[in-house]
Amino acid sequence: MDPEKPAVLFTEEVIRRRVAEMARRISSDYAGVEDLLLVGILRGCFIFLADLSRLLTVPRSVDFIAVSSYGRVTTSTGAVRLIMDLRTEISGKHVLVVDDIVDTGYTLQYLINALKARGPASLKTCVLLRKRERLKTNCEIDYLGFDIPDLWVVGYGLDYANRYRTLPYVGSVKT
Protein backbone atom coordinates (compact mmCIF):
# COMPACT_ATOMS: atom_id res chain seq x y z
CA MET A 1 0.00 0.00 0.00
CA ASP A 2 1.42 3.36 -1.01
CA PRO A 3 1.21 5.91 1.80
CA GLU A 4 -0.71 9.13 1.31
CA LYS A 5 0.77 12.60 1.58
CA PRO A 6 2.16 12.90 5.12
CA ALA A 7 0.00 14.70 7.68
CA VAL A 8 2.15 17.29 9.49
CA LEU A 9 2.87 16.51 13.16
CA PHE A 10 5.68 19.01 13.78
CA THR A 11 6.38 21.92 11.47
CA GLU A 12 9.86 22.98 10.45
CA GLU A 13 9.65 25.94 12.85
CA VAL A 14 8.52 23.83 15.83
CA ILE A 15 11.38 21.40 15.20
CA ARG A 16 13.89 24.24 14.82
CA ARG A 17 12.85 25.76 18.18
CA ARG A 18 12.98 22.42 20.01
CA VAL A 19 16.37 21.46 18.56
CA ALA A 20 17.73 24.86 19.62
CA GLU A 21 16.42 24.29 23.16
CA MET A 22 18.05 20.86 23.26
CA ALA A 23 21.35 22.30 21.95
CA ARG A 24 21.37 24.97 24.66
CA ARG A 25 20.82 22.36 27.38
CA ILE A 26 23.46 19.99 25.97
CA SER A 27 25.95 22.86 25.61
CA SER A 28 25.33 23.86 29.23
CA ASP A 29 25.65 20.29 30.49
CA TYR A 30 28.92 19.75 28.60
CA ALA A 31 30.47 23.16 29.27
CA GLY A 32 34.15 22.63 30.05
CA VAL A 33 34.35 19.28 28.24
CA GLU A 34 37.24 19.35 25.76
CA ASP A 35 35.59 17.30 23.03
CA LEU A 36 32.12 15.82 22.98
CA LEU A 37 31.72 12.95 20.53
CA LEU A 38 28.32 12.89 18.84
CA VAL A 39 27.51 9.37 17.67
CA GLY A 40 24.74 9.44 15.09
CA ILE A 41 22.68 6.35 14.41
CA LEU A 42 22.28 6.08 10.65
CA ARG A 43 20.38 6.69 8.55
CA GLY A 44 17.52 8.55 10.13
CA CYS A 45 19.52 10.84 12.41
CA PHE A 46 21.49 12.70 9.76
CA ILE A 47 19.32 15.83 9.49
CA PHE A 48 18.66 16.06 13.24
CA LEU A 49 22.36 15.50 14.02
CA ALA A 50 23.46 18.14 11.51
CA ASP A 51 21.06 20.75 12.88
CA LEU A 52 21.86 19.91 16.50
CA SER A 53 25.63 19.87 16.03
CA ARG A 54 25.65 23.28 14.31
CA LEU A 55 23.86 24.80 17.32
CA LEU A 56 26.12 23.35 20.01
CA THR A 57 28.60 25.76 21.59
CA VAL A 58 31.00 23.14 22.97
CA PRO A 59 33.89 21.52 21.08
CA ARG A 60 32.56 18.41 19.35
CA SER A 61 33.27 15.80 16.77
CA VAL A 62 30.95 13.45 14.94
CA ASP A 63 31.00 9.77 14.09
CA PHE A 64 28.33 7.37 12.88
CA ILE A 65 27.14 3.88 13.61
CA ALA A 66 24.55 1.90 11.67
CA VAL A 67 22.31 -0.79 13.10
CA SER A 68 19.15 -2.49 11.96
CA SER A 69 16.21 -3.89 13.85
CA TYR A 70 13.52 -3.59 11.19
CA GLY A 71 14.80 -5.19 8.01
CA ARG A 72 12.06 -4.90 5.38
CA VAL A 73 9.15 -4.83 7.82
CA THR A 74 7.46 -1.96 9.67
CA THR A 75 7.70 -3.44 13.15
CA SER A 76 10.86 -4.18 15.07
CA THR A 77 11.83 -7.80 15.46
CA GLY A 78 13.81 -7.03 18.61
CA ALA A 79 16.94 -8.54 17.04
CA VAL A 80 19.48 -5.77 16.49
CA ARG A 81 22.45 -6.17 14.21
CA LEU A 82 25.45 -3.91 13.72
CA ILE A 83 25.85 -2.86 10.10
CA MET A 84 28.61 -0.22 10.44
CA ASP A 85 30.77 0.43 13.49
CA LEU A 86 32.36 3.64 14.72
CA ARG A 87 35.70 4.74 13.32
CA THR A 88 36.53 6.58 16.55
CA GLU A 89 37.90 5.01 19.71
CA ILE A 90 35.53 6.12 22.51
CA SER A 91 37.44 4.96 25.58
CA GLY A 92 37.72 7.89 27.99
CA LYS A 93 35.61 10.19 25.81
CA HIS A 94 32.32 11.92 26.52
CA VAL A 95 29.81 10.36 24.12
CA LEU A 96 26.34 11.54 23.16
CA VAL A 97 24.35 9.03 21.09
CA VAL A 98 21.98 10.87 18.72
CA ASP A 99 18.98 9.05 17.27
CA ASP A 100 15.92 10.09 15.31
CA ILE A 101 13.32 7.92 17.03
CA VAL A 102 12.90 5.41 19.81
CA ASP A 103 10.11 2.95 19.15
CA THR A 104 10.55 -0.26 21.18
CA GLY A 105 13.90 0.87 22.58
CA TYR A 106 15.69 -2.31 21.51
CA THR A 107 18.13 -0.52 19.21
CA LEU A 108 19.05 2.22 21.65
CA GLN A 109 19.43 -0.22 24.55
CA TYR A 110 21.64 -2.46 22.43
CA LEU A 111 23.87 0.49 21.54
CA ILE A 112 24.04 1.80 25.11
CA ASN A 113 25.19 -1.61 26.33
CA ALA A 114 27.67 -2.05 23.48
CA LEU A 115 29.16 1.43 23.86
CA LYS A 116 29.37 1.29 27.68
CA ALA A 117 31.57 -1.78 27.30
CA ARG A 118 34.07 0.39 25.39
CA GLY A 119 34.76 2.55 28.46
CA PRO A 120 33.60 6.07 27.60
CA ALA A 121 34.08 8.79 30.24
CA SER A 122 30.33 9.42 29.98
CA LEU A 123 27.52 8.16 27.78
CA LYS A 124 24.23 9.97 27.26
CA THR A 125 21.44 9.81 24.71
CA CYS A 126 19.67 12.43 22.62
CA VAL A 127 16.54 11.44 20.71
CA LEU A 128 14.22 13.55 18.60
CA LEU A 129 11.08 11.38 18.90
CA ARG A 130 9.87 8.70 21.31
CA LYS A 131 6.83 6.44 21.05
CA ARG A 132 6.33 5.97 24.78
CA GLU A 133 3.45 3.49 24.42
CA ARG A 134 5.55 1.13 22.27
CA LEU A 135 8.60 0.95 24.54
CA LYS A 136 9.67 -2.59 25.42
CA THR A 137 12.88 -1.65 27.26
CA ASN A 138 13.80 0.79 29.99
CA CYS A 139 16.38 2.71 27.98
CA GLU A 140 17.10 6.13 29.41
CA ILE A 141 16.83 9.17 27.16
CA ASP A 142 18.75 12.14 28.52
CA TYR A 143 17.63 14.69 25.93
CA LEU A 144 14.24 14.21 24.27
CA GLY A 145 12.64 16.30 21.57
CA PHE A 146 9.04 15.07 21.50
CA ASP A 147 6.83 12.21 22.60
CA ILE A 148 4.55 11.02 19.80
CA PRO A 149 1.65 8.59 19.47
CA ASP A 150 2.04 5.23 17.77
CA LEU A 151 2.14 6.48 14.18
CA TRP A 152 4.51 5.80 11.29
CA VAL A 153 6.40 9.08 11.01
CA VAL A 154 8.43 10.45 8.14
CA GLY A 155 10.45 13.52 7.27
CA TYR A 156 13.38 15.24 8.95
CA GLY A 157 15.46 12.11 8.33
CA LEU A 158 12.76 9.49 8.92
CA ASP A 159 11.49 7.44 6.02
CA TYR A 160 8.92 5.00 4.79
CA ALA A 161 10.44 2.59 2.24
CA ASN A 162 13.24 5.13 1.61
CA ARG A 163 10.75 7.89 0.79
CA TYR A 164 10.03 11.21 2.52
CA ARG A 165 13.36 11.34 4.38
CA THR A 166 14.20 14.88 3.24
CA LEU A 167 10.91 16.56 4.14
CA PRO A 168 11.63 19.59 6.37
CA TYR A 169 8.89 18.60 8.83
CA VAL A 170 7.81 15.46 10.68
CA GLY A 171 4.60 13.95 9.36
CA SER A 172 2.71 10.70 9.59
CA VAL A 173 1.68 8.27 6.88
CA LYS A 174 -0.62 5.26 6.85
CA THR A 175 1.23 2.03 6.23
In the chain, the N- to C-terminal Cα span, in Å, equals: 7
- Say whether 103 is catalytic: yes
* Residue 18 burial (C-beta neighbours within 10 Å; 0-12, 13-18, 19+): middle
Q: Considering 51, 99, 100, 103, which one is annotated as catalytic?
A: 103
Supply the residues annotated as catalytic: 103
